[in-house]
Structure 1
């Protein structure tokens, strides 16, 4: 087995909530020494967000910050700012997701840190980016989802769009950040210099449009809410069986023909398999309502398991719409190692989502639980050259803050 790809790389994770911490978690899985820096007292606001366990931790924080070391320092104190500068001098990567300009005022912006450490790869994540008329505006994933055009395309026609219920903007931007950071580190091998990576939630969600933009710019058609299927990809959608919901993806000609033959053979609408109107995608789209009516009737008369068994036998892509408890028990998820089990000193066994990285010659599964606030203060300060007496003084004065382990 090889070492992990980013062994020896130090990352300062000066971020909060989701996008930035997710980047740090990914880099930790890839082998980097990720130091999670938090404000004294309450720390990252994510500690009190969703599935709060106690005043120190939440499931949200545990998931996003596993594998990191914890530092809590008051950067408003000159001694704390000096410690942060020394930490950043030793770092390869700095990740932040504050509003543009906020860290410049704190002496932790790209200009200040890169002047001290020209090799630093500095990654900023914000709602709108560091340029443009909206750069100064606050925002979250919800804002970017609404602005990007994605939200306008989902939901039932005539009703307000639903919340997506996953943080698509944050996670997609975080994934791009990981790619950009690793590319910048590779580029640094040749140039010797780092650079500033400026990522925006709005930009990344806009970039996801695989068909909507050209629909409008080339075809002059605005995508609209379509409910449970895609009018341009018949048959591709969600259907209700007698005891649950499932999805069917028979939009390609070959899979449609197999599906249509199955319908006829099992008591469904007659003629679907031989009707030449349905032999092409454009033909199926033109007669979408007729097709949907027949398929809905056929599915509704059966249970989910029966429908899936018949579709699988016909090699038609399909799946049950699963709840989270069913996903955790899914043999495929288990076989792929997508659930991490960690042993926490206070909370016992934790079961959390793994990352999708799979390397042939190294294991990127994180076994270390997320740190308590300031858990590694003394260890990190010592690595930066602070003496035991200096560390004790910083702790006594609250420049370094920590919560005692229970």
Structure 2
């Protein structure tokens, strides 16, 4: 097995909640040494987020910070500031997701850190980015989802759009940041210099539009809420069966013809499979309501498993709309190792989502659990050249704060 691609790279993860910590987790999986820096006392606010296990850990924090080493530093003390300066001088990458300008007050802005460490790749993640009229505004993924036009396109016509229930803006921005960081590290090999990467949640969600922008700029058409199917891509949508829901993707001509013939052979109206009105995408879109009037009751009269078996038999893409418990038990997910198991010293066995990286010759699965607050203060301080007496004094006096449990 090869070494993981980023072994030997040191990352300072000075971030909180989701987008930044997700970047750190990805870089740790790829082999980087990721040092999670938290404020004394409460640490990352994500420790108190969903599924709180005790007064300092949550499932949210455990998932996003596995594989990292943890330090907690009092930047108000001169020794804490020196600790952070040495740490950043030793780093290849610095990740932060505070409002633009906030870290300048701590001496942790790009200009100051890059002056000391010209090779530093400094990645900022914020709601709107570091330029533009909204750069100063606070925001979360929800704000970017609403602003980007994505939220307006989903849901049932005439009703407010639903919440997406996954952090699309944070995760999509985070993985783009991972790509940009790796590109900057590669560029540094030639130039010898790092650079500032400015990632915005709003930008990345706007970049996701694969058809809506073109519809408007090329045809003057504004996308609308369509509910459970896509009027521009018939037949493609969600359908209710007798005992659950499933999705069918028969929008391609060949798949549609197989699907229509199957319906006719299994109780559908005569001639449905040979109706040439439906043999092109334009024809299906123009006659969408006629098609739905046949497909919906046909699906509704059968259990999900029967519909899936019939459609799988003719190679028409389909799937059950699964609950999370069904996802975790799905043989495909098990075979792909998409649930990672970790043994935690306090909580026992943890089962958390894995990352989707798959390399032919190295394993990127993280086995190390997320750190306790300040768990690795001493060993990181030692790596920065602080002596035993200095480390003891900083720990005793709370410059290096820890809340390590047995």
Pair in the same fold by TM > 0.5 = yes
1:202 & 1:55 partners in 2: Cα distance? Answer: 33
Residue correspondence of structure 1 range 275-294 to structure 2 within 5 A:
275-294=275-294
Is 1:226 the counterpart of 2:226 in the alignment? yes
Residue correspondence of structure 1 range 314-353 to structure 2 within 5 A:
314-353=314-353
1:76 aligns with: 76
Residue correspondence of structure 1 range 242-391 to structure 2 within 5 A:
242-391=242-391
1:268 & 1:78 partners in 2: Cα distance? Answer: 78
1:106 aligns with: 106
1:179 aligns with: 179
Q: Quote how far apart the aligned CAs of 1:397 are.
A: 1.4
What is the Cα-based RMSD across aligned positions, in Å? 0.5
Is 1:13 the counterpart of 2:10 in the alignment? no
Unaligned ranges ≥5, structure 1? none
2:394 aligns with: 394
Unaligned ranges ≥5, structure 2? none
2:373 & 2:366 partners in 1: Cα distance? Answer: 19
Residue correspondence of structure 1 range 92-241 to structure 2 within 5 A:
92-241=92-241
2:223 & 2:362 partners in 1: Cα distance? Answer: 43
TM-score of the pair, normalised by structure 1: 1.00
Q: Quote how far apart the aligned CAs of 1:401 are.
A: 0.4
Secondary structure at the aligned position of 1:218 is classed as: helix
2:272 & 2:194 partners in 1: Cα distance? Answer: 60
1:86 aligns with: 86
Q: Quote how far apart the aligned CAs of 1:79 are.
A: 1.1
Residue correspondence of structure 1 range 54-69 to structure 2 within 5 A:
54-69=54-69
Q: Quote how far apart the aligned CAs of 1:242 are.
A: 0.3
2:68 & 2:269 partners in 1: Cα distance? Answer: 57
- Shift >3 Å, 4+ stretches: none
Q: Quote how far apart the aligned CAs of 1:347 are.
A: 0.2
1:34 aligns with: 34
1:16 & 1:188 partners in 2: Cα distance? Answer: 27
1:176 & 1:162 partners in 2: Cα distance? Answer: 25
Aligned length in residues = 406
For residues 198-248 of structure 1, give each alpha carbon's deviation from its aligned partner in whole angstroms, at most 9, with x where no partner exists: 000000000000000010000100000000000000000000000000000
Secondary structure at the aligned position of 2:219 is classed as: coil
2:47 aligns with: 47
TM-score of the pair, normalised by structure 2: 1.00
